[in-house]
A and B are shown apart, each in its own frame.
Chain A
Amino acid sequence: MTTKSRLAALAGQPNCGKSTVFNMLTGAHQHVANYPGVTVEKKSGHFSVAGVRVDLVDLPGTYSLTSYSLEERVARDFLLDEKPDVCVNVADVSTLRRSLSLTLQIMEMDLPVVLALNMMDKARKEGVEIDLRILEERLGIRVVPLAAAKGEGKGELMEAIQEQVSIHRHPRQVDYGPLESKIHVLEDWMRDQGTTSSLPLRWLRIKLLEGDAFALEHARGKIAQGEKLADMALRLGKEFEQEHGESVSRHLATCRYALADEIVSSCQKHSFSSRGLTNKIDAVVCHKLLGPVILVGVIFLLYQLSIVQGYNLTNYTWPILAKFKELCGLALPAAGFVDDPMVRALGLWVVDSVNALLNYIPIFLILFTLIAILEDSGYMPRMAFILDRLLQRFGLHGQATLPLVLGGVYVGGCAVPAVMSTKAVPDHRARLATILIIPMLNCLAKVPLYILLIGAYFAQHQALAMFFISTISLLMALPVAKLLTLTVLKKQESAPFIMEMPDYHLPTIGGVLRPALQKVWLFVKKITSIVAAVAVIVFALLRFPGIGAEAMREIEARGDHAQNDFLQIVDTSPLQGRFQLEEIPDLLEFEAAYKQAKIRATSDQDAVLVDKRFSERNAAYLAMVKGQPAEEYGKVSRGLRSLLRERKLIRMEIQKARIDSSFLGRIGQAMEPVTQWAGFTWRINVALLSALAAKENTVATLGSLYQQDADASGSDLSASMKETESGFTSLHALALMLFMVLYPPCLATLITIKLQSGSWGYMLLSLGGQITLGIGVAVLVFTGGSLLDLTGLEAMIAFYCLAVALTVAAAMIPNPPLEPDPGHS
């Protein structure tokens, strides 16, 4: 027995239970990555049998192994390049005829194959008998019966895999009838010329005759005299087509199907009853009236449970993250009076950025669990079935329903899980279009700005304005999807819609939790680390070149003045002479910690304990903070409060001055000549730019830019905004809101787009496209509205009508054809 590990590939058609088999074999030893260079997920794992370690790679589920789709090319390339020691082909016994077509294709690749016949429990239940001995004999490969969902057949399959790597059987060759003579012509020619290939030879010849793009390329590039070989194969293929009136590929498929049919008839007694139960459920779920009602119900439930309930859950998880930040704060250099050391500011900034994302984990966990339930149960294809016609008109695909819902079709989604869930869209072109429009939908983080602006400028028509902003995003996204489909994505691979409507299943706990946890882990691992890195860059852009030394000295002098004032007050108390300037940071920290502890104390009893604890820590500080006894410390306490107020004010001024003079601030000022047409002053530009890290920041930045008194509440922010920008009208607000709808995707979304589209190009397109479109729309509304002398409300209605008209027009334009076609030349 060698200690060398073996490589096994797991192949199978969609819905055959392949991932259940994968989980059964590998258990917890799994690793998820992508196949190199593409966005197709590659799951690998390992197990040991008879002392040999077997590495198992899960190939994408495919019906066939042609060059037509990315998944099929990935599976084919893996089998050809990696030459696994054995290929385990999982097949659903109830669709054996169709499944064997794939088995025969894999066998043609000259690999040892084990056929894992899954769902045998279903066959037993329906009284369908399969003679495995005949099946093995006819195929010439090992066949193992399985009921993977029940864990039956695991041992036997492992043994078969181990046995297969040492015994090479003689698999059955498909007889391609009249095509065989053409295959021989190529074989003879190659022998005469003495040329050979690293690929399985019979497979190569068949593929060449079929005109397969990959095989032709291989011949022309890697085979001696390959140019001639390729030309000859193409000529022979054409000849065949003329002689027999059907294409080579059709002929191949027909021969395989006929053989599969014959084999099934010889080994299978009784046939499976038609999909009675599934059909009955479909009669309800896909019903003309009930179908859409159920769909809306499912979407509503999904939204309620994940976004709403998940958000509630963050109330419990946020304190953990806050604690984490607190701990980081303790580890970092202490805060200064007017300004913090750079390391502290940077450290806390990064922790904040990462925390903002980690905060979404409860939402994602619920969401991914629910998605897994939808996938496992078989409802997903039904969603696509119901809405395909509508979405198809905009170049999208029925399967885009779920991603659009998650992204916030109405209001309040999140682009990250939405982009991640586009994986289910089988059509590459439609998938990219979906990915690119998702960030245009209303994610949760955009809502606070809407509420602020609507409250300030559309107070009379709040409901109408909220309806407008909730629905306008989709009305802009759909025409954009169509535009992308007709232009940038025109050359992208599209796919036929035709799909299997699998049987309904009761989801299993393992089948649901495992993928959900895997996705959350992927999110934490990949996205969080990149976001932390980019947060550093945004920090630098907001901080440098920084405030001039002169200005800083002035601010510091103000700080010193405030502190000295406070000291003078302290000197009127019993602490006279016992409290020094150097102690002020300690006192401030004490005050903050005390305030925190007080907030956390839930009962009067707790509060007493807190007082006791802090009194033990430093009784004098506590007296100053609490101002008790009043006759001795009341003045000090008031002085402390005004010191804190002054400090806050100074800090905000520093932040404002810093942002104003930062690179981002300068960009904001440089952009004003353009953005003035959209009604944005440079201050708004800066607020919008600083929100690049996360949109939640917009309102906060507007706050620090407009609001001098930080203690004021949200409504006062609208007031101070109105005051500072006295010329600001509802038309300005409308332009700003529309820009926010189209606001560039947040960092996490951008990274997810990069991961899911597999290209930085689409990420940049998403970023640049939305900025351009956002400014364009804002300029149109603001400048157009100003010229026509419209109020914000009138402009809103006019723009809505325009968007509806565009959406209808986009729906009328036909889609580009399915091609381009890399499969055949």
Chain B
Amino acid sequence: MILSDLTPGNSCTITNLHAENRLGQRLLDLGIFPGVSIKVLRNAPLEDPMEVEIDGMLLSLRHEEAKYVEVKIR
């Protein structure tokens, strides 16, 4: 399953990352690595982007970008 499908309140573990280059690098830079757990906090008032918590940090990313993050619900 992919991160963009998750609804607020769900926690999951990252299993894979399907983006390379610019986007892939940025996701890695912000600590999105396989094995790390991630929690969806909320969606923006217009549904997109979403806010997540990872490794004690809050990140905001578009669903378009979250599509590339494969996750497993814990």
Which residues of A approach B to under 8 Å, CB–CB?
Answer: 63-64, 66, 68, 94-95, 97-98, 101, 247, 249-250, 253-254, 257, 271-275, 278-279, 282-283, 286-289, 291-292, 381, 384-390, 392, 398, 495-502, 818-819, 821, 823-824
Contacts and interface: CB of A to CB of B under 8 A. Distances in A.
A279 B29 contact: no
Given A289-B45, A385-B49, A500-B57, A253 B22 contact: no
B30 A282 contact: no
A501 to B, nearest CB: 4
B33 A254 contact: yes
A58 B74 CA distance: 42
B51 A385 contact: yes
In the A-B complex, list the 7 residue pairs whose CB atoms are closest, starting with the nearest.
Answer: A63-B29, A501-B58, A498-B61, A389-B46, A253-B28, A389-B48, A496-B26
Contacts of A819: 21-22
Interface string B23-61: 111111111010000000110111111010101111111
A66 B23 contact: no
A501 B59 contact: yes
Contact of B56 (A272, A385, A824): A272
Nearest to B33: A257
Contact of B46 (A97, A250, A386): A386
A289 B24 CA distance: 33
A823 B21 CA distance: 7
Given A495-B26, A819-B21, 4 more contacts: A386-B44, A386-B46, A392-B62, A398-B49
Given A498-B62, A500-B58, A288 B20 contact: no
B33 to A, nearest CB: 5
Given A68-B22, A98-B57, A818-B22, A498 B42 contact: no
A498 B45 contact: no
Contacts of A283: 42
A289 B42 CA distance: 13
Nearest to B53: A274
Contacts of B22: 68, 495-496, 818-819, 821, 823
B17 interface: yes
B12 to A, nearest CB: 16
A291 B42 CA distance: 12
B44 A385 contact: yes
Nearest to A501: B58
Given A64-B25, A286-B45, A385 B31 contact: no
A68 B21 contact: yes
Contacts of A64: 25, 29
Contacts of B20: 247, 249-250
A497 B68 CA distance: 14
A498 B27 contact: yes
A497 B62 contact: yes
A291 B26 CA distance: 27
B30 A63 contact: yes
Contacts of A390: 46
Which of A381, A387, A501 has most chain B Cβ within 10 Å? A501
A496 B23 contact: yes
Contacts of A98: 29-31, 55, 57
Contacts of A500: 30, 57-60
A392 B30 CA distance: 22
A460 to B, nearest CB: 38
A702 to B, nearest CB: 43
A289 B46 CA distance: 10
A824 B24 CA distance: 12
A286 B51 contact: yes
A71 to B, nearest CB: 12
Contacts of A502: 58
Nearest to B46: A389
A278 B49 contact: no
Given A250-B17, A388-B48, A818-B22, A94 B62 contact: no
Contact of B45 (A381, A386, A495): A386
Given A498-B60, A821-B22, A388 B49 contact: yes
A275 B51 contact: no
13 contacts: A63-B26, A64-B25, A254-B33, A257-B28, A278-B58, A286-B51, A288-B45, A291-B45, A386-B44, A389-B46, A498-B61, A818-B23, A819-B22
Contacts of B56: 94-95, 271-275
Contacts of A288: 45
A821 B25 CA distance: 12
Interface in B3-21: 17, 20-21
A821 B41 CA distance: 32
B21 A275 contact: no
Given A389-B46, A390-B46, A249 B41 contact: no
A249 B30 CA distance: 15
Nearest to B36: A257
Contacts of A388: 44, 46, 48-49, 62
A496 B65 contact: yes
A824 B29 contact: no
A503 to B, nearest CB: 8
A342 to B, nearest CB: 57
Nearest to A822: B22
Contacts of A101: 29
Contacts of A287: 45
Contact of B60 (A66, A254, A499): A499
Nearest to A252: B28
Nearest to A272: B56
Contacts of B61: 496-499
Contact of B59 (A271, A289, A498): A498
A255 to B, nearest CB: 11
A808 B17 CA distance: 34
A803 B25 CA distance: 39
Contacts of B23: 496, 498, 818
Contact of A279 (B28, B41, B60): B41
Contacts of A387: 46
A292 B45 CA distance: 7
A497 B49 contact: yes
B57 A95 contact: yes
Nearest to A498: B61
A70 to B, nearest CB: 12
A821 B21 contact: yes
A254 B16 CA distance: 12
A63 B24 CA distance: 13
Given A95-B56, A821-B21, A250 B28 contact: yes
Which of B20, B31, B45, B61 has most chain A Cβ within 10 Å? B45
Contacts of B24: 247, 249-250
A98 B29 CA distance: 7
Nearest to A503: B58
A257 B23 CA distance: 17
A496 B59 CA distance: 13
Contacts of A257: 28, 31, 33
Given A386-B44, A818-B23, A821-B22, A275 B57 contact: yes
Contacts of B58: 275, 278-279, 282, 500-502
Contacts of B49: 385, 388-389, 398, 497
Contacts of A95: 55-57
Contacts of A247: 20, 24
A264 to B, nearest CB: 10
A107 to B, nearest CB: 17
Contacts of B53: 274-275, 279
Contacts of B41: 279, 282
Which of B22, B31, B58, B65 has most chain A Cβ within 10 Å? B22
A286 B44 contact: yes
Nearest to A253: B28
A249 B70 CA distance: 19
Contacts of A497: 49, 60-62, 65
Nearest to B31: A98
A286 B48 CA distance: 12
B49 to A, nearest CB: 6
A85 B52 CA distance: 39
